[in-house]
Amino acid sequence: MEIFDEPRFAWRGAMLDVARHFMPKHDVLRFLDLMALHKLNTLHWHLTDDQGWRLEITKYPRLTEVGAWRRESQVGAVRDAPGDGRPHGGFYSQDDVREIVAYAAERFITVVPEIESPGHVQAALAAYPQLGVTGKPVEVYTRWGINANILNVEESTVTFFRDVLDEVVELFPSRWIGVGGDECPRDQWRADPRTQQRMAELGLTREEELQSWFIGRLDEHLAAAGRRLFGWDEILEGDLAPGTTIVSWRGMTGAVAAARRGYDVVACPDDQVYLDYRQSDSPDEPIPVSIPLTVADVYAFDPVPDGLTPDEARHVLGGQANIWTEHADSPRTVDYLAFPRLCAVAEALWSPAGRDYADFAARLTHHLTRLDALGVEYRHADGPLPWQRRPGVPGRPDTRQQRAAHIARLVENIAS
Ligand code: ACM
């Protein structure tokens, strides 16, 4: 018998957020094993955010001495949700990272690191307040959601982040290096006379251009090191260097715009492959956020958006599922969110278009036996097991209509 099989996409990924909740090294290695089992080949590793800085940087030790630890964590997704009163944290030493990257490589997985900028940086500001617009001391953020405290645009801050990226490039052989760029509220830049003066010096009139300028300074540095900048679709709101790769998360608008403008794209539309989203309408789902995404919904994922020419479509490198962990405070909860939906994503990224869900569902039954044998605490088709529930912890469910309207407002500034 001869079997001919090859993947449809080169980028078959999962994004794992270890900033909101730290995942110990052992569990990251286990996650890589599970990725390899599903022929996923790219781990987009979200290492820094407002709530934690997880990567040791030898030049700036306070990033992890201070930035890796927070006083407590918000419990639940509502605005006035209480804190748990319990410190949380952890980080990866550079030796840990070398081990993880080598372990991944042995399994043909590339680890693409992400260092967020110029927003989602409050943990860094807690360690080095001089990086912030206000310069005032802040603590590592204990709430979820978007944060107003962003980087200033001084030359010293550009240098700081370039120094960080120098260590990142040493540790990670990946061709792509993530610099974030998403959800950066520019109110502090607007209100700050020094930032306005800096914009004038640089000949810029809009804060969006300032963000592009900042990202561009990091891009020059990465390009000089032979790497490619990887950033969320918000960075399409300004000018970008050729060779940038866009992670399109706000639906497919960014994927279409990026491919048309000649940038490579990784698709991860939130309404299809955000695995932190709830898995049903049942009140038993643990801390339910956003819209329900079933295994069947996820299986329907196609990273190539409609309406592209064949030349434009060639810019779509593939796709990934994103596992944000605000509400996943242990690797066991990550199992519940990821599996079996990640199995469906893996097949959607490997197999030709025109797949049959009924066929997949029949095969999944057998595959769940394998996951059982491996101790994966996946979600059962009939809902969470008693210990997987979080009774009394409110989430923030949306309808599809509400979610679509929200995303439509967010992408208004993307020019195709
Ligand atoms: C994102 O979900 N903020 C990329």
Structure tokens at 331: 């690797």
DSSP category for residue 92: B
- Delineate the domains of the chain, giving CATH numbers in brackets: 11-415 (3.20.20.80)
Of 49, 182, 411, the residue with max ligand 1 atoms within 8 A of its CB, to mutate for a pocket test, comes to 182
Q: Which residues make Cβ contacts (< 8 Å) with residue 408, sequence separation at least 6?
A: none
Quote the pLDDT of residue 192.
Answer: 98
Substitution site in 144, 183, 274, 323 for ligand 1 pocket (most atoms within 8 Å of beta carbon): 183
Q: What is the pLDDT of residue 413?
A: 82
What sign has the CA pseudo-torsion 83, 19, 251, 337?
Answer: negative
List, in sequence order, every beta strand (DSSP E) within 134-244: 176-180, 228-232
Residues of the chain with pLDDT under 50: none
Residue 408 Cα to ligand 1 midpoint, Å, equals 15
pLDDT tens-digit series, residues 20-46: 999 999 999 999 999 999 999 999 999
**What pLDDT is stored for residue 324 in this prediction?**
98
* 339 CB within 6 A, ligand 1: no
Determine the atom of ligand 1 nearest the C-alpha atom of 322.
2
Q: Catalytic one among 21, 38, 44, 120?
A: 120
Q: Provide the CB-side half-sphere exposure for 141 (13 A, CA).
A: 25
Model confidence pLDDT, tens digit, residues 343-381: 999 999 999 999 999 999 999 999 999 999 999 999 999
> Rounded to an integer, what distance in angstroms lies between the CA atom of residue 218 and that of residue 223?
9
Tell how far the Cα of 374 is from the centroid of ligand 1, in angstroms.
30
Q: Would residue 183 show up in a list of annotated catalytic residues for this protein?
A: yes
248 C-alpha to ligand 1 centroid (Å):
9
What pLDDT is stored for residue 65 in this prediction? 98
Q: Would you state the pLDDT for residue 416?
A: 52
At residue 91, the 3 state secondary structure works out as coil
For the chain, the distance separating the N- and C-terminal CA atoms, rounded to the nearest angstrom, is 48
In sequence order, which residues have a C-beta less than 8 Å from that of residue 283 and are 6 or more positions away?
none
Q: Whole-model pTM? A: 0.98
| 187 CA → ligand 1 middle, Å | 19
Specify the 3-state DSSP secondary structure of 4: coil
Distance of alpha carbon 322 from alpha carbon 20, whole angstroms: 13
Which structure tokens are listed for 191?
């209100």
Instruction: Report pLDDT digits (tens) over 179-202.
Output: 999 999 999 999 999 999 999 999
Using a 6 Å cutoff on CB, does residue 360 contact ligand 1? no
Which of ligand 1's atoms lies nearest the C-alpha of 270? 2
Q: Is 144 in the pocket of ligand 1 (CB under 6 A)?
A: no
Catalytic residue among 49, 56, 276, 335: 49
